[in-house]
Structure 1
Amino acid sequence: MYEVGDWRVWIFYYEGRLDYCDRVSAPNGRSGEYSDWADSKGDGNPVYLLNTEEALALEEIFDLASQLDDGL
């Protein structure tokens, strides 16, 4: 789970790559889960809406965050 501002985002980050968004929770209490946006083939995964530059930037952030977690 990652906090982005007041949002909470559960992203599966596997072997250095963004895999899929499992769920999100907005500051106003609204939330969504993988089954709300993805079909049986995984289409609709919000991670696929990112362009390459955005995905790489997030992967770098998640990699740094996981390194910090490993050090604690």
Structure 2
Amino acid sequence: MTAPHPSIPAALRLTAREVSQVLREVIFERSSVTRACSQTWDEIYAGHFQVDIGGWFISIYNDCDELDYCEECVAPDGRRWAFDSGDRFGTDPIALLSTWELVTLEQILKKL
């Protein structure tokens, strides 16, 4: 396990696993997702794409039209998770998804 993100107080930290579970709720159609930014996935092409999943605000990096990594997540209760380039593989919520889940999530994001 890596050290927690230094800029987030311990009481306000989310884990990558918690964030990946929120994404899975969308993938398995147990929660709905809406776009929380003005541009569509295709319009951004390379940059951060923000979504709202029942009050969870998540920023996902679109790398040339491919789902890349989760930049940040803020839960409805104010807890946060943030990407840290020093984290080892598997600590990004996107990295915790299966190949099928990644493809499905990317398709959902492209439709928003």
**Which band: TM-score by shorter chain?**
0.7 to 0.9
Q: Which has the higher helix share?
A: 1
User: After the TM superposition, which segments of 4 or more aligned residues of structure 1 sit over 6 Å from their partners?
Assistant: none
Per-residue CA shift, 1:2-28, capped at 9, x if unaligned? 011110000002223211100000000
Question: SS of the residue aligned with 1:13?
Answer: strand
Q: Between Structure 1 and Structure 2, how many residues are aligned?
A: 62
Bigger fraction of residues in strand: 1
Which residue in the other structure is 1:56 paired with?
Answer: 103
In structure 2, stretches of 5+ residues that fail to align are 1-49
> What is the TM-score with the length of structure 1 in the denominator?
0.74
Measure, in 2, the Cα distance between the counterparts of 1:14 and 1:61. Answer: 16
- In the superposition, the TM-score normalised over structure 2's length comes to 0.50
RMSD: 1.6
- Partner Cα separation in structure 1 for residue 96 and residue 105 of structure 2: 13
Instruction: Give unmatched runs, 5+ long, in structure 1.
Output: 66-72
| Residue type at the aligned position of 1:7 | W
Taking only the aligned residue pairs, the percentage that are identical comes to: 31
The answer on 1:24 being equivalent to 2:35 is: no
